[in-house]
Amino acid sequence: MSKPNIIQLSEFDITQKIIESLSNVCTRAVLFSIKNESKDANQIADELKISLSTVYKTLSTLEELALIEIDKYVISSEGKKIKQYRSRIGKVEITLENSEPSLNLYPNTENPKSEP
């Protein structure tokens, strides 16, 4: 069996996926936005001045990678259930040794998960 190339590795290696995701400035901005306080997608979009669709796509990716979680649900004035997200990580360290990346994720202690 031949050694997988970088593209093939990135499809299967969670560390690589997280590193690639965190290299995106928009992803980092969304993650930092919800580190100290949980927010809904509209609040994030307004704060960062980016489109709501970009925020939803970014939140979906971050949730898939388990870097964020739904902190709580709030009910809007129209009676809609709205998700509020928070970062699960407070610090990230990425190191490169012998051409292999190493990823250390530290829990977010700034904003403990809200009670339901």
* 49 to 33, 42, 53: CA distances (angstroms): 12, 10, 12
pTM of the model: 0.80
Report d(CA 113, CA 116) in Å as an integer: 9
Q: What would the two tokens of residue 36 be?
A: 């100290």
Q: Does domain 14-107 have CATH number 3.65.10.10?
A: no
pLDDT averaged per 10 residues in sequence order, the chain, 116 residues = 51 79 95 96 97 97 94 93 95 86 87 54
Place of tokens 């031949």: 2
pLDDT of 11 reads: 47
The DSSP string of 28-42 is HHHHHHTTSS-B-HH
Which amino acid, one-letter code, is at 38?
S
